[in-house]
């Protein structure tokens, strides 16, 4: 299977999840707006969700995957099964202990880490503590699911791990639909959503567990023991979790700081949901697929293939991310109007704030995605320390800027801090790879980047004029179908302009994609042939 097809396999499941995530946020915006219950739920959910993203998109797809892949190469499926059981025993015991400690300490954690700004609002603070207490066991489910997903990715079975998160959104949409139909109060909706999150964790774990068994590996429980392989994993996993989840860590920091401003937490969450679509579909797909492929190329000492994988991944991410970033910057307000402007969201007049945050996030989108493309260059070489240092610097910059900008700019200041820290992290990662000789000069990539930037700029200009022209159909109060149709015309027309310009000036090459797909067809998938 070619690299492009593997990206598409992961991206399709992620895209499904993100689209349903939009639907979920639309329901939530209508039901809760940016009121106190929305703030409480988003702050409470941010805590276990950050851990989920650290494990699912950080530690296990960065530390576990290379070790598991090497175990398969060295000792076959029996060795991989033994290694997985050793890790499972330690991981489950650690997670259970952590969950018990966190549940008992939840008031302290919310007061000093998750939402310190809520401490002077007793009702909101107590609600956040209760909702976080209900949802935190979600961490156990999702961390174990992340391990299973890492195994599936190493076995080149990407779809089950990519599609499992869809069920979180399906369950929460069902909860919100039920709440709307029966007219539940805001407080009851908050509790129902929290129990829905926990139920979704159990469903997602069951899906990937079943997929692993279907792949031929049945995991049993072993007494926790720090074997040599487990120690190696732990040594790599902590810095990998910090590095792979840097965007989520910055989001958690931003949430904690924003909790001192009314409605800021939920405003950031609604904007975050939108820009997570291209970040998830492109960035996470690239990171998941690139890491095991790069690890195999380096193990085989095929440096030319490793270099090609890295450059083509960056080319792919920029080809899809630059136009998405331009669209978020130019037409953020119409996007927010169509997705959220109804019910309680409209009543609280939240559109200007969420639109401003979304436009700022758009400026950082290429950086957030490039971080996902650059870090496998370190993790595949089992170097998790260097990107962890860069991540720590990024978090420190984010924290300092967020504290400085919040009083002047409000919630958009949190977004500015995240964007600046994201670009800083991406630049440090790339510069170090180049300095070490791990990232060679690629003439095709250097030729295409300025052309893709130009194509995105032309598309952004076209969207700016289209937004002005279609303004009468996009104003507050227009029927939803009218606004959606106008936005669809803008985005569809913008996409046509971008692709026409990009292919016309040589920013993209259809022939190259065809050759890559053809090469993928010609090469047998040895790993799956052995395991099926």
DSSP 509: -
State yes or no: pLDDT of 257 exceeds 90.
no
For residue 36, is it left (φ>0), alpha (ψ between -120 and 50) or beta? alpha
Per-residue DSSP letter, 105: T
**Model pLDDT, residue 515:** 45
Using CA atoms, how far apart are residues 461 and 467, in angstroms rounded to an integer? Answer: 10
Selection from 162, 146, 156 nearest residue 531 by Cα: 156
| pLDDT for 508 beyond 90 | no
Mean pLDDT of the chain, nearest integer? 81
CA distances from 146 to 43, 227, 435 (A): 23, 21, 33
Q: Is residue 524 within 8 Å of residue 471, measured between CB atoms? A: no
pLDDT tens digits, 32-55: 887 889 889 988 887 777 766 665
Q: Is there a contact between 350 and 36 (Cβ–Cβ < 8 Å)?
A: no
pLDDT of residue 161: 77
Contact (Cβ atoms closer than 8 angstroms) between residue 401 and residue 345: no
Q: How far apart are CA 200 and CA 72, in angstroms?
A: 31
Instruction: Specify whether the CB–CB gap between 348 and 34 falls below 8 A.
Output: yes
pLDDT at 531: 28
Q: 244 pLDDT band (50/70/90 cuts)?
A: low
DSSP state of 262: T
Structure-model confidence comparison of residues 303 and 453, the more confident one: 453
pTM exceeds 0.95: no
What is the CA angle 318-320-321, rounded to 5?
60
Confidence of residue 103 (pLDDT cuts 50, 70, 90): very high
Tell me what the mean pLDDT of segment 98-111 comes to: 92
Q: At what angle do helices 246-258 and 228-244 cross, to 10 degrees?
A: 50
Please check the confidence at residue 530 and state whether its pLDDT lies above 60.
Answer: no
Closest C-alpha to 419, from 366, 472, 350 = 366
Residue range 366-392: mean pLDDT, rounded: 84
Domains of the chain, residue spans: 3-531
Tokens found for residue 399: 């924290």
* pLDDT value of residue 53: 64
For 221, counting Cβ atoms within 10 Å of its Cβ (0-12 exposed, 13-18 middle, 19+ buried), the class is exposed
Please write the tens of the pLDDT for every residue from 140-197: 888 888 888 878 877 777 677 778 888 999 999 999 999 988 889 999 999 999 999 9
Closest of 137, 119, 123, 117 to residue 47, by C-alpha: 137
* Matching residue, tokens 């030729």: 447
Q: How many residues does the chain have?
A: 532
Least confident of 124-138, 356-370, 452-466, 499-513: 499-513
In whole angstroms, how far apart are CA 435 and each of 144, 432, 440, 443, 494? 37, 5, 10, 18, 38
pLDDT tens track for 198-237: 999 999 999 999 998 888 787 877 788 888 878 887 777 7
Dihedral sign for Cα atoms in the order 286, 135, 414, 475: positive
CB 425 within 8 A of CB 294: no
Q: How far apart are CA 1 and CA 349, in angstroms?
A: 49
- Least confident stretch, 132-141, 147-156, 439-448, 521-530: 521-530
What are the tokens at 326?
A: 């331009």
Q: How many CA atoms lie within 13 A of 57 on its CB side?
A: 28
Which of 56-60, 84-88, 128-132 is the least confident region? 56-60
pLDDT score, position 517 = 42
DSSP state, 439?
S
Q: What percent of the chain has pLDDT over 90?
A: 30
pLDDT of 382 strictly over 90: no
Residue 514 to residues 12, 28, 508, 509, Cα–Cα distance (Å): 19, 42, 12, 9
323 vs 508: CA distance, rounded Å: 13
pLDDT band with cut points at 50, 70 and 90 for residue 510: low
Report pLDDT for 526. Answer: 28
CA angle, 423 as apex, 417 and 428 as ends, to 5°? 125
Q: Which pLDDT score, from 0 to 100, does residue 58 have?
A: 53
Amino acid 286: pLDDT: 66
Could you tell me which residue, 121 or 260, shows the higher pLDDT?
121
Half-sphere exposure (Cβ direction) of 135: Cα atoms closer than 13 Å: 28
Indicate whether 120 pLDDT > 90.
no
């Amino acid at each position: 299977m070619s690299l492009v097809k593997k990206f598409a396999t992961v991206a399709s499941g992620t895209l499904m999840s993100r689209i349903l995530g939009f639907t979920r946020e639309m329901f939530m915006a209508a039901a809760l707006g940016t009121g106190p219950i929305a703030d409480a739920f988003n702050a409470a959910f941010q805590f276990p969700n950050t851990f989920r993203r650290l494990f699912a998109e950080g530690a296990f797809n960065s530390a576990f995957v290379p070790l598991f892949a090497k175990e398969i190469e060295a000792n076959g499926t029996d060795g991989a099964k033994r290694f997985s059981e050793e890790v499972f025993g330690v991981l489950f015991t650690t997670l259970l202990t952590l969950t018990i400690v966190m549940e008992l300490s939840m008031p302290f954690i919310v007061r000093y880490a998750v939402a310190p700004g809520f401490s002077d609002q007793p009702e909101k603070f107590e609600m956040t503590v209760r909702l976080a207490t209900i949802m935190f066991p979600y961490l156990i489910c999702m961390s174990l699911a992340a391990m299973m997903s890492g195994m599936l990715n190493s076995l080149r079975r990407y779809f089950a791990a990519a599609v499992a998160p869809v069920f979180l959104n399906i369950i929460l949409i069902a909860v919100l639909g039920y709440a709307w139909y029966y007219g539940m109060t805001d407080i009851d909706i908050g509790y129902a959503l929290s129990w829905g999150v926990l139920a979704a964790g159990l469903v997602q774990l069951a899906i990937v567990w079943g997929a692993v068994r279907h792949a031929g590996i049945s995991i049993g429980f072993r007494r926790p023991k720090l074997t040599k392989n487990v120690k190696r994993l732990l040594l790599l996993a902590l810095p990998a979790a910090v590095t792979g989840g840097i965007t989520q860590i910055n989001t958690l920091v931003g949430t904690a700081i924003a909790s001192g401003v009314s409605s800021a937490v939920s405003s950031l969450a609604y904007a975050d949901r939108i820009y997570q679509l291209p970040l998830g579909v492109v960035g996470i797909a690239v990171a998941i697929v690139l890491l095991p492929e790069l690890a195999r190329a380096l193990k085989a000492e095929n440096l030319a293939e490793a270099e090609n994988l890295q450059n083509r991944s960056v080319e792919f991410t920029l080809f899809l991310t630059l136009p998405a970033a331009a669209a978020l910057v130019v037409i953020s307000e119409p996007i927010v109007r169509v997705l959220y402007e109804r019910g309680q969201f409209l009543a609280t007049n939240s559109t200007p704030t969420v639109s401003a945050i979304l436009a700022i996030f758009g400026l950082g989108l290429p950086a957030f995605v490039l971080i996902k493309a650059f870090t496998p260059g370190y993790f595949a070489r089992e170097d998790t320390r260097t990107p962890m240092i860069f991540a720590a610097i990024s978090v420190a910059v984010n924290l300092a800027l967020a504290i400085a900008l919040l009083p002047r700019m409000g919630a958009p200041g949190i977004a500015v801090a995240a964007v600046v820290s994201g670009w800083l992290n991406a630049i440090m990662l790339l510069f170090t790879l180049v300095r070490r000789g791990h990232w060679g000069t690629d003439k095709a990539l250097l030729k295409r980047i300025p052309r893709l930037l130009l194509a995105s700029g032309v598309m952004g200009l076209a969207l700016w004029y289209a937004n002005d022209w279609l303004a009468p159909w996009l104003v507050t109060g227009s029927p939803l179908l009218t606004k959606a149709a106008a936005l669809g015309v803008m985005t569809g027309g913008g996409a046509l302009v971008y692709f026409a310009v990009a292919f016309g000036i040589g920013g993209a090459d259809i022939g190259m994609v065809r050759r890559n797909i053809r090469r993928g067809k010609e090469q047998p998938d040895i790993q799956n042939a052995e395991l099926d």
